[in-house]
Amino acid sequence: MRSGLNRRDLLKAIGVPAVAASLPLRFAETEPTFSRMPVEGKDTPKICLGFSGPVGESGMRRMKQIGVDYVLTGGPKIPWSEGDLRARIEQFKLGGLTLCNMMISGFDDVIWGRPVSRATRFVQAPMYFQNFLGMMAPQPLPTGGRGWAVPMDPALRVMHAGDVTEVGRAVAAAFSAGDQLPDGSYLAVCGGLYSWNDFVATLNALGHDLQVRQVPPEVYDGFYPGAHEMREMFLYFTEHTYFGPEHETRIAAANALVPGGFTGFADWARVNMKPS
């Protein structure tokens, strides 16, 4: 059964991780606002939502039922080949979905499933601050105390992070910009570029008592199921940063469209990670 929500209403409701695609829109106003979105039609921007868990017919069917056309998910197991990526794309295509993946740079025509040749703009979401409230919350450390054991140099500023609830502001700005935003543009939403030491120092300044410890890769791999995949991701950050080699241009493009930019970690943590 199909949901009663149309794409316009759903996009207004979520206002969070989304990719702005197929945007041949023209707005007289420059102020980003969902209220100016047009009546849904053949040129209505498509929605992209995160897809997690096993890739199966039921999961893809649920996405289609709420009007989703594009999905964002991780790539196949590392090390991957271009053939692996194309196979993943075809799997979603058979389910009526176009697969997008922001974690692998250098293969835009492969990752996005189609050449960037028509009116298409991409919004890149950062590493979410909200992860520190869930999957990346401080844990007891083997050496005592609480914090994080990581398989990378904690002093490296390579993690572009931000408030997930602000991603929708960049999406709205892309809609409002219309032809002023060149086809194939990337908008990278970023509250700041951080190291693990930065996160710890900020939280401890608020009254926490946290630590970060670097551990060998083989030790980290034994911490939890799937740890080796997280370790490979962190090591990717150390070589390319979270957003990849073109991060400065893409962050600047997003900041230019969103007055005031995006919330930094210190301001976000002051509200959302108060010491208990």
Is residue 25 predicted with pLDDT exceeding 70? no
Percent with pLDDT over 90 in the chain: 37
d(CA 204, CA 200): 6
- Round to whole Å and give the CA distance between 32 and 36: 9
* Cα first-last separation, the chain: 45
Per-residue pLDDT tens over the stretch 224-250:
888 888 888 898 899 889 988 889 999
| pLDDT number for residue 31 | 38
pLDDT tens figures, 183-239: 778 889 999 999 999 999 999 999 999 999 999 999 999 998 888 888 888 988 998
Q: How confident is the model at residue 2 (pLDDT cuts 50, 70, 90)?
A: very low
Alpha helices (H) in 15-68, listed in sequence order? 57-65
Give residue 249's pLDDT. 93
Mean pLDDT of 95-105: 62
CATH of 7-272, one of 3.30.9.40, 3.30.70.1090, 3.40.50.10490, 3.90.25.10: 3.90.25.10
**Encoding tokens for residue 208?**
């926490």
Dihedral (Cα; 11, 243, 106, 155), 10-degree rounding: -160
> For the chain, give me the number of helices (H) and strands (E)?
10, 11
Give the per-residue pLDDT at 205: 98
| Amino acid identity at 148 | W
Report the pLDDT value the prediction gives residue 5, as an integer from 0 to 100.
43
Q: What does the domain layout of the chain look like in residue ranges? A: 7-272
Model confidence at 100, in pLDDT bands (50, 70, 90)? low
180 pLDDT above the threshold of 50: yes
pLDDT band at 74 (very low <50, low <70, confident <90, very high): low
User: What local confidence, expressed as pLDDT, does residue 218 receive?
Assistant: 93
pLDDT of residue 122 exceeding 60: yes
What is the average pLDDT score of the chain?
A: 75
29-53 pLDDT, tens digit per residue, is 333 333 343 454 555 555 555 555 5
DSSP state of 166: G
